[in-house]
Amino acid sequence: MTSIKFYGGVNEIGGNRILVEDGDTRIFLDFGMSFSKHAMFFEEYLKLRYSSTGMKDLLKLKMLHYVDGIYRKDLLCLIGKEPHSEPSIDEVLL
């Protein structure tokens, strides 16, 4: 059975993150940024840190959802998650 899970982009502009699953196949469509959530925390003079720390910030602020199998192993260690042995997502289409 095919299932579709929306992690963002519903009732908002931007922020599309859609997981499509069919049997053992998992495909992530898009990985957009939520403009409304971004505006809640950041402005012209207050910007996101673009480093591994930035990912940790985005997860903590719930601007990114943690989905097992899509993040790099070195970044998982920085956010306190155990690295996965194999990715659980087959493709990410942006």
Assign 3-class secondary structure to the chain: CEEEEEEECCCCCECCEEEEEECCEEEEECCCCEHHHHHHHCCCCCCCCCCHHHHHHHHHCCCCCCCCCCCCHHHHHHCCCCCCCCCCCCEEEC
pTM of the predicted model as reported, rounded to 2 decimal places: 0.56
pLDDT digits (tens, 9 = 90+) for 15-26: 788 889 999 898
Query: For residue 56, what pLDDT is reported?
Result: 74
